[in-house]
Amino acid sequence: MGPRGLLTTAAVGAALALAVAAVAMPQAASERSRVKPFTVSGTVTGLYPGADRPLRLVLRNPHPFAIRVTALWAEVGDASRRCRGYNLSVSRLGSPVTIAPRGDRRVVLRATLLGWAPAACRGASFRLSYGGRAVRP
């Protein structure tokens, strides 16, 4: 095959690749945008300076197939202007957990109020926003 033949082949190949991508990518993107998140709920009480308390959470899988949660974290919001979120630390998920189709799974993280948390944090309520990542096993 001469140089013209090679160029033609490359052009046809590229056109085919673009056509396949044009058809498949929007579907993949729309699939991802429709994905329902797994939900996280739970709370912790009784925090005081230096205390390490269990944050008992329930993870709920809304899908008709099992999922494997590989990461889970909590972002801590300010309780008030004088009791900032950095006074509270929350651990991350230690090891992945699998949740059955449309099932629940309990996990425990640790919530620790720093030893120097100010008196303004007495009786405070910190907002926890959860994030996480799961895959289909």
Partner 1 sequence: MRGLAGLATVLALACAWVSRGEASWSLPGAGQSAAKAQVLPAGGTPSATATGASVTVTWPQSTLATGEAVPAYVVTRYDAVTGIAQTTLADCAGTIAALTCTETGVPAGTWRYRVAPKLETWLGAQGPASASVIVLL
The contact set with partner 1 (CB under 8 A) reads 1, 5-6, 8-10, 12-14, 16-17, 20-21, 24-25, 28-29, 31-32, 35-51, 55, 59, 63, 67, 69-72, 76, 79, 88, 90, 111, 113, 115-117, 119, 121-136
Q: Contact 47/93 with Cβ under 8 angstroms?
A: no
Of the two residues 36 and 81, which places its CB atom closer to partner 1 in the complex?
A: 36
Closest CB 66 distance from partner 1, rounded Å: 12
Strands lying side by side in the sheet with 104-113: 52-60, 104-113, 88-90
Which of 134, 130, 24 has its CA nearest to residue 69? Answer: 134
Rounded to the nearest 5°, which phi and psi values hold at 62?
A: -85, 0
Closest CB 101 distance from partner 1, rounded Å: 13
